[in-house]
Homo-oligomer: A and B are copies of this chain.
């Protein structure tokens, strides 16, 4: 016999004993007035039971179809939420409403990155800046070669063949960095270079800020063009050629998502896809001031208080894709986590392929997840209702000014 429920007072209620037991056993529904005599279903739960378990729903004694139920409860990103909910359940895993979250679960450790003391060399040669190319050239080879060999600034000679051709070519990030930190003199003022770069790509200064931040911690960011991203990243100590004569491969790429930027989810996901295809770790950089709360953590203060009040009062939570959607229970060994005995592992933000997301919104969703002590799981429902997951892990880069996250395409 299939599960039955009905709609009244704009609520979806399960009242007959057999249905209540079946629904409760599967971790659907919530108690009414603290008792399990009746259960109330969320719209996602009701649709799931209709869709997958052929449950029967009635209103005023009349059977209700999927569209009739969905039509009554339709709200922002309704189908995206539903199909993301369904997909998690279809994996045999439990998903529960976000408002059941209790305090900080402390299940979101940070990935620690190394950082090195660095000193920027002083550039003794003068460079020529090419306006339209956003690059500068140092044609004094001794100086150019030293900057390349010892610090991996620019490209000497030819990519992967430094002895073919000559001269040091520096891109706009390297040029501005050396002008600011290495007394690099050019035919034009640094300010003019920045203005020209910003006129070409309005997000130039945000990209530069990220470049500078990693460079100052000893990392070597180079163009990520071949990997469809803003930078590829080498860890401290990297050199353009190793002693073994082997070319050094980067293992990380960095994509900069300014707070003010807006991007279609499909375009955002594309960048992650390329990184995945070339087996590199995708790092999302969100430049610009972190909020005070976040700074606290960098000063070593922990926050273990119940942050639920903060989450619920956040103005960004009122609507839109900044709102977190579900608590996700995952696996534990051969078993699965369940809400009666376990804590959730992730918090889900459900998105759809053709919606836009802003840098600020995403930063806010990550911040909220952090306050819950859970890793954020971005679930993206495509136009065929197939769901793709991206797990967000926080990065701890000592002394850094900005927020960085590893984004990993996962199959939960």
A-to-B contact residues, CB < 8 Å: 51-52, 65-67, 70-71, 74-80, 86, 90, 127-128, 130-135, 137, 139, 154-155, 158-160, 164-167, 169, 171-173, 187, 200-201, 222-223, 225-230, 264, 266-267, 269-271, 273-274, 277-278, 352-356, 380, 382-386, 388
* Inter-chain pairs besides A66-B139, A223-B353, 11 sampled, C-beta below 8 Å: A67-B137, A76-B132, A90-B158, A90-B164, A134-B354, A171-B384, A228-B266, A228-B270, A228-B273, A270-B274, A273-B274
14 contacts between A and B (CB under 8 A): A66-B139, A66-B166, A67-B127, A90-B158, A135-B383, A159-B385, A159-B386, A200-B355, A222-B383, A225-B388, A226-B388, A227-B273, A228-B273, A270-B274
Please report the C-alpha to C-alpha distance between residue A227 and residue B167 in the assembled complex, in whole angstroms: 39
The answer on a CB contact under 8 Å between B66 and A133 is no
Q: Inside 8 A of A354's CB, which chain B residues have their CB?
A: 134, 172, 200-201
CA distance A410 to B167 in the complex (A): 27
Chain A contact residues: over half helix, strand or loop, or mixed? Answer: mixed
Chain B proximity of A193: nearest CB distance (Å): 13
Chain B neighbourhood of A172, CB < 8 A: 354, 383
CB <8 Å contact, A128 and B67: yes
Given A223-B353, A354-B172, are A130 and B388 neighbors across the interface (CB < 8 Å)? no
Chain B residues within an 8 Å CB radius of A90:
158, 164
Give me the 6 closest cross-chain CB pairs, A-B, nearest first.
A228-B270, A277-B277, A171-B383, A223-B383, A159-B386, A225-B382
Q: How many copies does the complex hold?
A: 2
- On chain B, the residues within 8 Å of A385 by CB distance are 135, 155, 158-159, 169
Residues of B within 8 Å of A227, CB to CB, are 273
Chain B residues within 8 Å of A137, by CB: 66-67, 70, 79
Complex CA–CA separation, A380 to B223 (angstroms): 13
| A52 CA to B135 CA, complexed, in Å | 20
With contacts A66-B166, A128-B71 known, is A269 near B133, CB below 8 A? no
Does A51 contact B133, Cβ atoms closer than 8 Å? no
CA gap between A230 and B269 in the complex, in Å: 12
Most-contacted residue by chain B among A228, A266, A267, A388 (CB, 10 A): A228
With A66-B139, A139-B66, A354-B201: A384-B78 Cβ-Cβ less than 8 Å: no
* Known contacts A225-B353, A383-B225; A167/B130 CB under 8 A: no
Residues of B within 8 A of A355 (CB): 200
Whether the pair B128, A79 counts as a contact (CB closer than 8 A) is no
- Chain B residues near A171: list those with CB within 8 A: 383-384
* A131 / chain B contacts, CB cutoff of 8 Å: 74
Q: Which of B133, B155, B166 contacts A384 (CB 8 A)?
A: B155
Contact A222 B384 (CB under 8 A): yes
Whether the pair B133, A352 counts as a contact (CB closer than 8 A) is yes
Chain B residues positioned under 8 Å from A200 (CB to CB): 354-356
Residues of chain B contacted by A267 (CB below 8 angstroms): 267
Measured between C-beta atoms, what is the minimum distance from A323 to chain B in Å? 13
Contact of A52 among B130, B165, B278, B382 (CB under 8 A): B165
